[in-house]
Amino acid sequence: MNRCLLLIFLCLAFFADAQALELLTYNLGLANGFVDNYEERRLPLFQQIKNSNADVLCLQELWAEEDRQALSLELATLYPHHLLTPIERITSDRSPACQYSNLFGEGSIVTCMRSRCDGKSGRDFTACIIGDCKLPLESLKVRNPHCASALMAQVGTHPLVAILKLLLPFGKIDLYIYGGSNGLALFSKYPIKIGSSGMVSLRDYSTLSRRDFLYSVLEIEGKELFVGCTHLTANLTDSAPYAGKFTGWEQENLKQSEYLLTKIEELSQGRPQAIMGDFNFSPGVPNQGIEANFEKSFLAFKAKGYVDPMSDGAKPSCTFCKSNSLN
């Protein structure tokens, strides 16, 4: 499957006399327990980011606090200005998150785990739950969406520990993966204007993963540029049942996009913009073999006048493709 997942949107009525500005957005995929080879990729990725020479970095899936601190230290000299928001745990408002009958019994998720996924851990265990236990997971979502969402948020947790957390009548369980981290980081070689940076929370539009938007106003050669960094809801249709308040993953991505467009207009105050990230949407380009993905969200941004360097022009480029060795 080829997709042109849009990475940078530009609305730059910028300065013709200014030096070229290089922007880098990258999804590191440091999702321990979900994406393969976390330990092997971690330090080489940090080194490649350090060697990039870009002026501004927007990074996604930098989930763990240990990784955030390590990369910040690595980049401190080259990128003296950065924005990372504190990891904030968001927990269930009910305890326990699940009832015993939700998890155990004939045809249940735990029965499937025992018969199909026993002895597996990390990425293999997650893949087993998503693949071999999809029907029990779908059934749980119908019977108790809150329980299903809390269960899926335990990515990377030992299965026995996860089940205990779900059933314990005291303490509240995390509703978002990786302790509520948004996985985002914004680094800049240029100064951030004092009092002109922050985060827009997309918590009210997020299921399973915490989605947010980091923003800063950069001071470049006496002029100002509004930059944003985000990671919107992915198309998990084939891997995780949707247990949120919208009709599915696609509508959730669209609601995030619409809300974000309103907030960007309010916060940018007419400044030129560079909005970066992993938006998880794309236009269809049949003659390039590129499939549309959450295209309504893409069109919502285009309708506001944004230019996308990946898809605009004579030959759109594919970023999430079969030919990409990272896949």
Least confident piece of the model among 105-109, 181-185, 298-302, 316-320: 316-320
Please tell me the predicted confidence (pLDDT) of residue 40.
94
Residue located via tokens 């059933």: 167
Helix 145-152 × helix 134-143 angle, to 10°: 130
pLDDT tens-digit map of 32-79: 877 888 999 999 999 999 999 999 999 999 999 999 999 999 999 999
Q: Which class for 213: exposed (0-12), middle (13-18), buried (19 or more C-beta within 10 A)?
A: buried
CB 227 within 8 A of CB 191: no
pLDDT tens-digit map of 254-294: 999 999 999 999 999 999 999 999 999 999 888 877 889 99
| Sequence-separated (6 or more) residues with CB below 8 Å from residue 297 | 232, 253, 254, 256, 257, 279, 281
Confidence of residue 107 (pLDDT cuts 50, 70, 90): confident
The answer to whether the pTM exceeds 0.85 is yes
CB 217 within 8 A of CB 271: yes
Least confident piece of the model among 182-186, 265-269, 309-313: 309-313
Sign (positive or negative) of CA dihedral 25, 155, 176, 245: positive
Please tell me the predicted confidence (pLDDT) of residue 7.
59
Q: What are phi and psi of 40, to 5 degrees?
A: -70, -30
Residue located via tokens 């997020």: 206
Q: From the centroid of its chain, how far is CA 22?
A: 22
- Best mean pLDDT range from 159-168, 226-235, 236-245: 226-235
Burial 155-192 (b: 16+ CB within 10 A, else e): bbbebeebbebbbeeeebbbbbbbebbbbbbbbbbbeb
